A and B are shown apart, each in its own frame.
Chain A
């Protein structure tokens, strides 16, 4: 996913537990960008297919 603040790519699997505040019931639904710290919402799977693919050249 791409950070909505700084625009840099984030691998949500790589974001560790330490970057989560742990206050939300039912677990964290945020991915904190390792570059800028911005909290990006984790899009549920059923909504992911609606997100427009921005670049055909993506890896």
Chain B
């Protein structure tokens, strides 16, 4: 194999041997650059961009490398093992902790080095593993890149094939797990796909050794070569070209693909371009910035849509599903969950049966009644108290263990008898919805509503997580694209998203008063929308688009549900138990020193304004320790018959809206800074008490819940 340096090739080009010039630089040149396209079509000699001086006219080619790439769980490793046999090594990719498997395959008398790359979803990496795969593809020389895809999901996986072709990589496509696809009634016309892609395409089921001979044959007869990239819309092509022509360095992959990755702000590509282009890098970055700025809508979305269009064209007539299979029941239900006309009733049904009936009535009503009422109040706590009366003469210790805020009589009872059944049933419902794949559909459903409050469907993730724990959800707001969205989501989490235990206790409390739960739901929904709407108007900024690939809807696997529920309950119990004990000790200390009484007295005028007994102030103090602790305190007061229906409703609304717990406040400070955290704290407190005050007046004057 003879390889020439670019300058040497230019010399040859000037001597009238243009085809050599284009042969040698074709790895680097953009195929649609002016005046060169016609030359490139005739090129077929070289598949390595490595250049050596003409003074070394002949170079022995190194061992041919084959890279296996593709999404996780498509059977790459099975193919790797089939090709390489037992002689493989596993080592960390240089400079990383990512393991790469290497082996040798002897095919038709030639030895190849085979690399099993970590799973990746596209050329733009999100994880360390994907970064390694990208680095291998973009910076190492391959004889062939075998892209392994799942036959059951061609539409989802082909965009990456399009990207690999776009990068100018020598590609072989393996449509794996074809046996499963056939069982599902999916027929794939591999010949037609091969004609359209103009690369070798092999149908395989590597786990059952089907297609392995064809893959070996494809490798041994592989001519390499690069396929023309698929064209995007003219405006996109113009912008990509505008950037690509500024890349003059020596790159292993197509400049058009590099330009695209640069526009998508890929870190590796940005670093590579800066390193290779040197002083020109600043001008390239400026061009990229102008182009990105010109796309008001999301460039990722635009490219994703373009690739989807290309793949739809490529797959037209390639994939057919037997009429018997048609559109499955799951697919129909999936579409219904995202359609506003059917999705909203489905959401309401989920909330009614999942939250109200299962968590509120069954968990917080029946199970809490058994544990808290029958077991703790009637048996365990009286035993604790009588034992302490007999053996503990010291008042302070007696109070600490079995007093009003005692560790055994309050903290253990709250944690085990009140909160655990509620979060347990909540986590069962949550895990069922999670395992069925409902949450991403919920994100699509509420995307339109969320846009009105300055968010998009992506914000469903922190909101859904907020029902588990608002502190962790506040941290997750960092995954939202803009600062504006992060602030809005943080405000809404602090104000209007109750955590699971708080929600469960409130459902249980209010379901006993006809109409109270409806009022609470309406008030909370209105506040959520109104505050979101106002915050979005107050904070200027971009409104990014939301799109995501929707995983299949499926029947929840009971084992997954049980395991996830137990895992979450274990996590929750480990978290709450020490904190409940700590809160109990702090409250005991407050009681013994009189500090708690002073604090309650300080808050008493506020309680009076809300129309609540002054003792409810203690519940708000509890709530600042933990939201669920506060809700449990309210539950206790109601059990003792200290609250009227109006007071209960006002207290529940105010407590739900009331300031976040200490941990959430600290997380707000960490994520948004002191200033924003304090503003949110003050705004949330003011909103909670204002709404509570107005609600009390409204309920009393209208005579509702009287």
Q: A51-B563, A59-B119 given as contacts; is B575 within 8 A of A25 (CB)?
A: yes
Among A11, A25, A39, A58, residue most surrounded by chain B Cβ atoms (within 10 Å): A39
- Give the CA-CA distance A56 to B551 in the complex, in Å: 19
> Contacts A25-B575, A39-B476 given: A4-B666 contact, CB under 8 Å?
no
Complex contacts, A44 vs chain B, CB 8 Å: 567, 570
Q: Of all chain B residues, which has the CB nearest A43?
A: B567
Please tell me if B207 contacts chain A, counting CB pairs below 8 Å.
yes
Cβ of B471 and Cβ of A21 under 8 Å apart?
yes
Asked if B559 and A24 make an inter-chain contact with CB atoms under 8 angstroms apart, the answer reads no
Q: Across the interface, which residues of A come within 8 angstroms of B568, CB to CB? A: 41
* Contact segment of B52-60, B69-77, B136-144: B69-77
Residues of A within 8 A of B471 (CB): 21, 23
The reply to whether the CB of B637 lies closer than 8 angstroms to some CB of chain A is: no
B128 near A: Cβ within 8 Å?
yes
How many Å from the CB of B228 to the closest CB on chain A? 30
A7 touches B551 (CB 8 A): yes
11 CB-based A-B contacts, threshold 8 Å:
A5-B440, A6-B551, A14-B98, A29-B571, A36-B548, A39-B472, A48-B563, A52-B560, A57-B176, A59-B73, A59-B119
Q: How far is the CB of A31 from chain B (nearest CB, A)?
A: 11
Q: Contacts A37-B476, A41-B568, A51-B559 given: A5-B75 contact, CB under 8 Å?
A: no
Asked whether, in the complex, the Cβ of B435 is within 8 Å of the Cβ of A4, the reply is: yes
Q: B177-204: contact bitstring with A at CB < 8 Å (1 yes, 0 no)?
A: 1001000000000000000000000000
Check A8 against B121 for contact (C-beta < 8 Å): yes
**Is the C-beta of B479 less than 8 angstroms from some C-beta in chain A?**
yes
B465 on interface, CB distance cutoff 8 Å: yes
| In the complex with contacts A11-B127, A57-B176, A47-B574 CB distance below 8 A | no
Does B128 lie within 8 Å of A14, measured CB to CB? yes
Residue A52 contacts which of B73, B98, B557 (CB distance < 8 angstroms)?
A: B557
A2 → chain B closest CB, angstroms: 8
- Chain B minimum-CB-distance residue to A18: B478
| Residue B564 interfacial (CB < 8 Å) | yes
Question: Bound complex: CA of A55 vs CA of B73, how far in Å?
Answer: 8
User: Nearest Cβ in chain A — how far from B526, in angstroms?
Assistant: 28
Q: Hey, which chain B residues are within 8 Å of A58, CB to CB?
A: 73
Find chain B residues with CB under 8 A from A7 CB: 437, 440, 549, 551-552
Chain A residues near B434 (CB-CB < 8 A): 4-5
B362 interface residue per 8 A CB criterion: no
Which 7 residue pairs spanning A and B have beta carbons closest together? Answer: A7-B551, A37-B479, A9-B72, A59-B77, A21-B475, A41-B567, A29-B571
Option from A8, A10, A24, A39 in Cβ contact (under 8 Å) with B575 = A24
Cα-based distance from A23 to B664 in the complex (angstroms) = 9
Given A4-B435, A9-B71, A24-B575, 16 extra CB contacts under 8 A: A5-B439, A8-B121, A9-B73, A14-B127, A21-B475, A23-B471, A23-B666, A24-B574, A25-B574, A29-B567, A30-B472, A37-B479, A38-B465, A39-B472, A56-B207, A57-B180
> Does B673 make an interface contact (CB < 8 A)?
no
> Please, which residue of chain B has its CB at the minimum distance from the CB of A8?
B121
Interface residue count on the A side (C-beta < 8 Å): 38
For residue B562, CB closer than 8 A to chain A, the reply is: yes
B479 to A, closest residue via Cβ: A37
* Count of chain B residues near A, Cβ 8 A: 61
Query: Chain B's nearest CB lies how many Å from the CB of A53?
Result: 10
Q: Does B78 belong to the interface (CB within 8 Å)?
A: yes
Q: Pick the residue among A4, A35, A52, A59 that contacts B126 (CB under 8 A).
A: A35
**Chain A interface (Cβ within 8 Å of chain B)?**
4-11, 13-14, 21, 23-26, 29-30, 32, 34-39, 41-44, 47-48, 50-52, 55-59
Q: B559 and A52: CB pair below 8 A?
A: yes
Known: A36-B461, A47-B567, A51-B560. A59 touches B78 (CB 8 A): yes
Is A6 a contact partner of B129 (Cβ separation < 8 A)? Answer: no
**B176–A41 touching, CB < 8 Å:** no
Determine whether the beta carbon of A36 is less than 8 Å from that of B472. Answer: no
Q: Is B579 an interface residue (CB 8 A)?
A: yes
B552-584: CB near A (< 8 Å → 1, else 0) gives 100001011011101110110011001100000
- Kindly list chain A residues whose C-beta atoms are within 8 Å of the C-beta of B126: 34-35
Let me know if B663 is at the binding interface, CB within 8 A.
yes
Q: Is B273 an interface residue (CB 8 A)?
A: no
User: With A and B bound together, what is the CA distance between A32 and B461 in angstroms?
Assistant: 11
Q: Is the CB of B78 within 8 A of A37?
A: no
- Give every chain A residue within 8 A of B71 (Cβ-Cβ): 9
Collect the chain A residues with CB atoms within 8 Å of residue B472's CB: 21, 23-24, 30, 39
Chain A residue contacts of B551, Cβ below 8 A: 6-7
Q: Closest CB-CB distance, B146 to chain A, in whole Å?
A: 14
In the complex, whether B496 has a CB less than 8 A from a CB of chain A is no
B277 to chain A, nearest CB (A): 29
A contact residues around B479 at 8 Å (CB): 36-37
A47 in contact with B563 given A6-B440, A6-B548 (CB within 8 Å) = yes
B667 an interface residue at 8 Å Cβ cutoff? yes
CA distance A40 to B248 in the complex (A): 44
Whether A57 touches B129, Cβ cut-off 8 Å, given contacts A5-B440, A7-B551, A9-B119, is no
- Closest A residue to B437 by CB, please name it: A7
Verify B560–A23 contact, CB threshold 8 A: no
Q: Can you name the residue of chain B whose Cβ is closest to the Cβ of A4?
A: B434
**Contact A50 B563, beta carbon cutoff 8 Å:** yes
Given the complex of chains A and B, what is the CA–CA distance between A41 and B206 in angstroms? Answer: 32
Contact of A47 (CB < 8 Å), options: B465, B566, B578: B566
Residue numbers in B under 8 Å from A24 (CB-CB): 472, 571, 574-575
| Cα–Cα, bound, A41→B561 (Å) | 12
| Cα(A30)–Cα(B474), bound, Å | 14
Q: Kindly report which residue of chain A lies nearest to residue B558, judged by CB atoms.
A: A52
Check B129 against A14 for contact (C-beta < 8 Å): yes
Expressed in whole angstroms, the minimum distance between the Cβ of B176 and any Cβ of chain A is 7
* Shortest Cβ distance from B663 into A: residue: A23
Nearest B-chain residue to A10, judged by Cβ? B127
